[in-house]
Structure 1
Amino acid sequence: MATYRCPQDGTRADAADLTWCCPVCRGPWDLDFDVRSAASLNSLTGRVNSLWRYEEALPLGNPAVSLGEGRTPLVPLTASVSAKLDYLMPTLSFKDRGAVMLAELARRLSPERVVADSSGNAGTAVAAYCARAGLPCTVYVPEGTSPKKTEQIRAHGARLEIVPGNREATARAARAAADAPGTFYASHVFNPYFLHGTKTYVYELWEDLGGSLPDAIAVPVGNGTLLLGAALATSELLAQGLIDRRPALIAVQAEAVSPLAAAFRAGADELLDSPDHVSPTLAEGIAIPRPPRARQILAAVRESGGTFLTVAEDRIRTAQQDLAARGFFVETTGVACWAAVGDWTDRSVVVPLCGAGLKTGLAGADPAAAS
């Protein structure tokens, strides 16, 4: 099993422990493990048709809890922009990529309980994979979470804790519960195994594009789990000699809640002052005022030669309608990247369609209705 390492102060811990954060700074862990020798495109032929086909790059193998996640289609939208349909997952969002890693790790550690916190999609994914693993699970969500998402969580047998207040209050409640003995905190933010699941998004792009990557990869960013997974994958592929350049990472935030974009534009390495209160936004899944991995997110975007883009509420609403007219019904958070780069013509870019529209419905006239 791999080793946890704090990126801030270098503290280490055994990944077999139920220590969910660095005991010194209370920050999130990174993961130290050796990626095995490179897998050629030809060697992938005949392997399992899920994200587990990239076994050399994963910190866990031989899963018992897989639901067939991964290997989602890549479809052109324009001559320059293609979409990866990650809403075609078992729980209808890209969060399955990381949730299966957390549930598989938890199964091996046999905790008394699993807890998670989420604005909806991550909680649904953790609930589903814990059900598959036979693990008791409690999911904390903020009040105002889409009833369709809370219904999914309950359907998988998880206990639902609805927390008064915003996403930050929900995270604090879950972390307090995670400190109880015998608890595995299935955090898509603090546990780095989640990032090693989301990085398979880029491995699939690499395979589908015949051993190459587009000029840019655009991702919606709240806590940054898909972006940091993409950064891991591009670094690994480059180090293994499987690509000769890294694509630019384009981080997209809602204009209403864009603390990372503000820090990037200010040239800061950390977040600027960010209030607890967030403005209502249709992109509820990325409305995160204080992402714990902010420093890593900012560094990853800069190192890739990428940038941050923000989108206004009317652009999000229009983008959802536009994608639906093209045959793709995607939730409001998942259309943010299309809203940001849909009119690009000068370079190739891939956007993720992260969650199914059935999770939130069609955006109405009032953005506060989805917050």
Structure 2
Amino acid sequence: MTEYQCPMCEVRSPVETAAWCCPRCHGPWDLGFRASPVPRDSLPRRVNSLWRYEEALPLPAPASAAVSLGEGRTPLVPLTDTVTAKLDFLMPTLSFKDRGAVMLAELARRLKPRRVIADSSGNAGTSIAAYCARAGLDCTVYVPAGTSPKKLEQIGAHGARVELVPGDREAAAQAARSVAGDEGVFYASHVFNPYFLHGTKTYVYEIWEDLGGRLPEALVLPVGNGTLLLGAALAIDELHAQGLITRKPALLAVQAAAVAPLAFAFRAGADDIVAPSFTTRTLAEGIAIPNPPRARQILTAVRATGGSFLTVTEDQIRAAQRDLAARGLYVESTGAASWAAAGTRDLGDRTAVLPLCGAGLKSGLAAAT
């Protein structure tokens, strides 16, 4: 294995013995890993999961598919002449979080903890629970008390213990972190652990493969904690550095106007969150994160590609979800936020791919107002 690195303090620590966060600043880890080029001409002969991009992954492909559930390889479906959707809601647990969860579960399987814990508003917890079940790992998921009953049922169905935490998403995170340092506990944090980001980056590798070795002019991505966007940024940097793409697509980050701390900071020219905490609720619960721990990295990644932040209203999210359903694509409201943003003038006539990243069955159709 490689080693964890703190992007703020430059502290380094072996993966096998590291605490779940930097011991100095308590921030999230990055990973000291350099990807090798993925040979595109060999991909058709490879396993049909994200492990097909093994040169780009920080863990060697397992000898068997003991942890994999066949995640990845989701289809691209045109929505307009220039905008294409990637159907990540067709993943095994019905959300894109499976891309990162399989990496965390495989890491935990190799580290052999006594138990795995996670915190989530639903989708990440479901993914961690499913992949821990697949790997034979004991799992507990901390969730806010207001989490969708359908998501709670799914987490429990995979055999994980569900800890309902009074309060919001941040309260659930704090509850998990209070026991994350206990002996024998592996904190499968989709925010703090960089292995998750190296799983989500396969989203871009798949687009690159399916578009014949190129990427669109823009990637439109919903952003709360930024795990999909930061994974996308990793893949873009790797592909560009290896000469496998000649230009970087713009990262267009989408937030709900009701909870948009990153968009506020971006427009203020700030390097970190500067606004008072947002407390307004939003239909896009998966990106309702008032203080994302990787805020600096998200803002830097968007600016590095000449991208920007787009915000959408609750009415736009409702309309986008219903429009997608009318096209045969039933997704949850967080995933619909990107389609809502695609209709703004910021996108223009650029070619773009956006993720439909969670199934509508998880939370239902947003009520009309």
Q: Shorter-chain TM-score: what band?
A: over 0.9
User: What one-letter code is carried by the residue in structure 2 that aligns with 1:321?
Assistant: R
| Seq. identity, % | 72
Aligned partners of 1:198 and 1:226 also within 8 Å: yes
Q: CA deviation at 1:95?
A: 0.0
Q: Deviation digits for residues 188-247 of structure 1, max 9, x if unmatched?
A: 000000000000000000000000000000100000000000000000000111000000
Superposition CA RMSD, Å: 1.0
1:365 to 341, 351, 368: 368
1:82 to 81, 84, 92: 84
Aligned partners of 1:51 and 1:71 also within 8 Å: yes
Secondary structure of 2:220 counterpart: strand
Q: Which residue of 2 aligns with 1:170?
A: 172
> 1:6 aligned to 2:6?
yes
Secondary structure of 2:90 counterpart: coil
Q: Distance in 2 between matches of 1:30 and 1:65?
A: 23
Q: CA deviation at 1:256?
A: 0.2
Aligned partners of 1:215 and 1:349 also within 8 Å: yes
> 1:47 aligned to 2:50?
no
Q: Which residue of 2 aligns with 1:231?
A: 233
Q: Deviation digits for residues 305-330 of structure 1, max 9, x if unmatched?
A: 00000000000000000000000000
> 1:56 aligned to 2:55?
yes
User: What one-letter code is carried by the residue in structure 2 that aligns with 1:20?
Assistant: W
Say if 1:75 and 1:83 are closer, same or farther in 2 by CA, change over 3 A: same
Secondary structure of 1:128 counterpart: helix
> 1:282 aligned to 2:283?
yes
Q: Which residue of 2 aligns with 1:29?
A: 29
TM-score (norm 2): 0.97
Q: CA deviation at 1:18?
A: 4.7
2:94 to 92, 95, 102: 92
**Structure 2 unmatched ranges of 5 or more:** none
Q: CA deviation at 1:278?
A: 1.7
Aligned partners of 1:274 and 1:290 also within 8 Å: no
Q: CA deviation at 1:260?
A: 0.2
Q: Deviation digits for residues 272-319 of structure 1, max 9, x if unmatched?
A: 1432x6211100000000000000000000001000000000000000
Q: Deviation digits for residues 139-158 of structure 1, max 9, x if unmatched?
A: 00001100000000000000
Q: Which residue of 2 aligns with 1:115?
A: 117
Aligned partners of 1:127 and 1:158 also within 8 Å: yes
Q: Which residue of 2 aligns with 1:300?
A: 301
User: What one-letter code is carried by the residue in structure 1 that aligns with 2:159?
Assistant: G
Q: Distance in 1 between matches of 2:68 and 2:220?
A: 27
Aligned partners of 2:35 and 2:57 also within 8 Å: yes
> 1:316 aligned to 2:317?
yes
User: What one-letter code is carried by the residue in structure 1 that aligns with 2:16?
Assistant: A
Secondary structure of 2:353 counterpart: strand
Q: Distance in 1 between matches of 2:276 and 2:53?
A: 38
1:352 to 344, 348, 355: 355
Q: Deviation digits for residues 26-84 of structure 1, max 9, x if unmatched?
A: 00000011212x22321212100111100100001223300000000011010010000
TM-score (norm 1): 0.97
**Structure 1 unmatched ranges of 5 or more:** 367-371
Aligned partners of 2:265 and 2:275 also within 8 Å: no
1:153 to 155, 180, 183: 155
How many corresponding residue pairs?
Answer: 364
